[in-house]
Amino acid sequence: MLLKVANLQVSFDTPDGPVDAVRGLDFELAEGQTLGIVGESGSGKSQSVRALLGLLDSNGRVSGSARYRDTELIGLSERELRRIRGSRIAMIFQDPMTSLNPHLRVSTQMTEVLAQHQGLRRRAAMSRAIEMLEAVRIPDAARRIRYYPHQFSGGMRQRVMIAMSLLCQPDILIADEPTTALDVTVQAEILDLIRDLRTRFSTSVILITHDLGVVAGTCDHVVVMRDGEVVERAAVGALFDQPQHDYTRRLLAAVPKLDAGSTN
Ligand SMILES: Nc1ncnc2c1ncn2[C@@H]1O[C@H](COP(=O)(O)OP(=O)(O)OP(=O)(O)O)[C@@H](O)[C@H]1O
Ligand SMILES: [Mg+2]
């Protein structure tokens, strides 16, 4: 198993006492698969995956197990986690500006990643970076790589972030609501891109969303979370055909078009 999460618990210390954000989460991600994590706002989707990568706020605590291949992630040092985040498990967020440095050209940011994690020299790094921007379908990549992040539109910026995250060919790409800030057409393009890239770079994907419509077209398996717990897990087809839980049925009812094969 590529990633096996067992009894993951996340809690936060707050002035009002502890908040148990994730309460015994279990899931598995197999090689080549795309796992959807769905659930309403506050159900613990983001904190679950942030906990795996050591990205919790400073008042957060994590326990349980998350085995990535032969490595237990929970309890790893910050240094080791940073290495894994940089090259083995990449994460992209709703707002690309949380990962891009507004003061540096995209070329600088991308070549730094390649220098640091793969020891590439400037020229090699530059051509590799341009190739990656082309892979995420940024037109005129050789010129635009010199742009600063703000010079890209929202959708293009998300593409830049996806390109950055794939530079070191991670085993796992975690995408936390990567399209919610974008308009519908651009959303569809980004999802299409993620589907294309995962085959091309043989990356497994964890896709976090509150939209089951997105899950239908993209994921193999789904975990449905509520209040920090899994209420249902299933293959995508089974979840849509026969949701077992009322909560899942309610989430399904909120999807405007259920039929992924419909023509409109
Ligand atoms: N630093 C923190 N201190 C206290 N509570 C926190 C902190 N960070 C997150 N939480 C709480 O953890 C719970 C789970 O949050 P999480 O971000 O995982 O939700 P989510 O499912 O990703 O929701 P959304 O769809 O809105 O992104 C929420 O109740 C949230 O308020
Ligand atoms: Mg979230």
**Segments making up each domain of the chain, as ranges:** 1-88+170-256, 98-167
Q: Is 91 left (phi over 0), alpha (psi -120 to 50) or beta?
A: beta
The two structure tokens encoding residue 187: 């959303």
CA-closest residue to ligand 1 atom 30: 42
E-strand ranges in the chain read 3-14, 17-29, 34-38, 60-68, 71-72, 89-92, 172-176, 204-209, 221-226, 229-235
Q: Give 203 or 96, the one with higher predicted confidence.
A: 203
pLDDT of the residue at 257: 56
47 lines ligand 1 (CB under 6 A): yes
In the structure, ligand 2 is a single-atom ion and the residues with CB under 5 Å from it are 46
Among the atoms of ligand 1, which is closest to the Cα of residue 47? 18
Q: Residue 262 pLDDT > 60, yes or no?
A: no
- Cα gap 117→42, rounded to integer Å: 34
What CATH code would you report for 1-88+170-256? 3.40.50.300
- Which atom of ligand 1 lies at the shortest distance from residue 57's CA? 1
Which residue type, as a one-letter code, is found at position 203? T
Classified as helix, coil or strand, 3 is strand
> Phi and psi for 161 in degrees, rounded to 5?
-65, -40
The per-residue pLDDT for 264 is: 43
The mean pLDDT value of the chain amounts to 93
Query: What's CA 85's distance to the chain center, in Å?
Result: 12
Which class for 53: exposed (0-12), middle (13-18), buried (19 or more C-beta within 10 A)? buried
Q: Per residue in 38-58, pLDDT tens?
A: 999 999 999 999 999 999 999
Give bridge partners of residue 23 from the DSSP assignment.
9
* Shortest-distance ligand to the CA of residue 13: 1
Q: What is the pLDDT of residues 146-157, one digit of tens each?
A: 999 999 999 999
The token pair at 233 is 């897990």
